[in-house]
Structure 1
Amino acid sequence: MTKYTVAVTDYGFPDLHQEEDVLLPMGFEFVTGQCKTADEVMQLTRHADAILIERAPITKEVIENLERCKIIVRYGVGVDSVDIQAAKERNIPVVNVPDYGTGEVADHAMSLLLSSVRKIPQIVSQVRRGVWQTTPCRPIMGLQGKMLGIAGFGHIGKDVAKRAQSFGIQTIAYDPYVPENVCNELNTEKVDWHTLLERSDMISVHLPLTPETKHLFHDEAFERMKSTAYLVNTSRGGVIRTESLIDALQTNKIAGAALDVLEEQPIPMSSPLLQFDNCFITSHCAWYSESSLNRLQRHAALEIKRIFSGERPKYVVNGVEV
């Protein structure tokens, strides 16, 4: 007999077997959709005991419409699609899954960084056109002794620091919420924002999207960066002001950029970013491997299992006491 209902508002996974393995034995029934609007979410979730979301908007109106919801779980790290304050006012914990793909994102960030600096896409394109040069796309910067600035020194930022140092790269970090001794333990100097911009030969971004970080990379930030510097973003697209990045690439304020996330996704085919040889873009896939996909689905379901088993979820992001 069904005891609970979990509403899965939207998902891009092949199936929900991982979630079902965890929750069906507890008496959960699944209702699923591919909601894109708040109205669609409201219709699906009104009577749900728990909600799983990928990208669907969980607005204040959605939350006020909920009749018996005990938990909202986001597949992934960022929760900017959820009105977490409205959920807090209703005493509904909002939970994310920050530990499912840390290694994958760090690997992808380093892959983008290395490809940018070594100009791999440009060289591959030349070879395909029949251009064979042993010193192609000059100049190419050597990595040893160069400085990587890490914007956001959480789990992923720390993993990127470890990977970068194995290439002989020095690391500095900007993160007002991480103590200096934590940075020092990873042979990374903690610096302020302007110092990060001015000293870095490369910058890797690992920041959540908040009112404080939105458009943190704007015109002034690019003015402060070295003209030889590269920018990599695997966090949230809104941290970079798109128009400012386009201008920085057009006017050679920076040497190049590699992005897995953008303000508008998918990227419009008319975007100037697609026309720059020194800018390349992947499809918000840094998180993905088959193993991380399985972890994401299972860990999200386990958070629901915890709260309905009388335990506290591991990753409550809106301060609700459970």
Structure 2
Amino acid sequence: MLIVLADTVFPDSAIERNVLAEAGHELVIADSPDQAVELLPEADGVLTAFLDLSAERIHTMKRAKIIARYGIGVDNVDVAAAHSQGITVTNVPDYCIEEVATHTVAMLLSLLRKLPEADRHVRAGGWGVAGVRPLRRVSELTIGLIGFGRIGRLVAETLAPLGPTLLASDPYARSVPDRVRLVEQSELLAASDAVLLHAPLTPGTAGLIGTETLLTMKPGALLVNASRGGLVDLTAVTDALRDGRLGGAALDVFPTEPVDLPSISDIPNLHVSSHIAYYSEEALRESQHKAATQIVRVLAGEAPDYPVVPPKESE
């Protein structure tokens, strides 16, 4: 069967090609988004990272049995439209848990210890603590995690030995470890010295951290987002950093990417990275192999490992 690779975001596609070839399938790699769209009517399966698979485009997919997305989110796929046509949608929800958790903790500790500021202080000829005051002891802090799935749990597990009070807010969490207290989001925001975002992007979570939310947070609190850029109103956050209501923020993801540089220039205590929290060489290989494997399973009439259910069916 014909499998269309809609966008090549990896160094090469040898893993997918080998997995699919072993099952007797042909892989065609689109040269551009326009060519990928042209190939959709012929595809028995589609592998994609970022191609916009709207309802209109999905309706052209007369042969397809599966859309397999690299990565966790499926924001670019109209899952309901796919299911209405009998097309299975899959993702890879467990491929970069360690990487995103590690990146989140690294960003948090960098904010808490003011490492970029310390670096600039030394390079400017300074020395001692004057350039980084005040610093807080981690064990005296309250850290809140909004979203407590695989990544949030690993972040909490990583931070626990440092001794902070850990809060979590997640409407779907049924249980939490002993070191974590499950609370309402409003309580978490009001009590936390640092807020870490690990929620999916949905209509209900878009703009989760905005002007009103920021006013409910502790003065001088920190914010870390390595989850979805749309969870944060970037203008509201940069305004809060400028006027000192937020003590610092670390962002790996942005509502629009690449980020508009003037919008983040000269912002005090803002640490940024370029949507790399998911990345390690091992994570990329895992994502490629697992996404291609979902194609093979579904086309063989087997159940996928990672089916994505339309929102209306999960409510």
Is residue 60 from structure 1 mapped to residue 55 from structure 2 by the alignment? yes
Q: Secondary structure at the match of 2:166?
A: strand
Question: What is the number of equivalent residue pairs in this alignment?
Answer: 312
Contact 2:195 2:222 in 1 (8 A): yes
Supply the distance in 2 between the matched residues of 1:299 and 1:127 (Cα, whole angstroms). Answer: 45
Residue equivalent to 2:274: 283
CA distance 1:40–1:227, change in 2 (3 Å): farther
**1:12 and 2:3 are equivalent in the alignment:** no
Structure 1 residue 44: deviation in Å?
A: 2.5
1:135 CA displacement? 4.3
Would the aligned equivalents of 1:41 and 1:62 in 2 still touch at CA under 8 Å? no
> 1:83 and 1:220 mapped to 2: Cα distance?
30
CA RMSD of aligned residues (A): 1.6
* Cα offset, 1:40, TM superposition: 4.5
Which residues in structure 2 correspond to 1:1-322 (within 5 Å)? Answer: 4-33=1-30, 35-36=32-33, 40-179=35-174, 182-183=175-176, 185-271=177-263, 273-318=264-309
The alpha-carbon deviation at position 17 of structure 1 amounts to: 1.2
Calculate the TM-score normalised by the size of structure 1. 0.93
Structure 1 unmatched runs, 5+? none
Q: Kindly indicate whether the alpha-carbon contact (under 8 Å) linking 1:143 and 1:168 is maintained by their aligned counterparts in 2.
A: yes
1:105/1:186 CA distance change after superposition, 3 Å: farther
d(CA) in 2 for partners of 1:280 and 1:26? 45
**Deviation per CA, 1:245-269, whole angstroms, max 9, x where unpaired?**
1211111111000011000111112
Contact 2:4–2:43 (Cα < 8 Å) also in 1: yes
When residues 277 and 247 of structure 1 are mapped into structure 2, their CA distance, relative to the original with a 3 A threshold, is closer
Q: Is the 8 A contact 1:97 1:299 kept in 2?
A: yes
Change in CA separation of 1:126 and 1:28 when aligned onto 2, cut-off 3 Å: same
Structure 2 distance, partners of 1:6, 1:253, is: 51
- The percentage of counterpart residues that share the same residue type is 38
8 A Cα contact 1:35 1:56, kept in partner: no
Q: Is the 8 A contact 1:93 1:319 kept in 2?
A: no
Query: What is the TM-score with the length of structure 2 in the denominator?
Result: 0.95
Matched residue type, 1:98: P
On the 8 A contact 2:80/2:310 being kept in 1, the answer is no
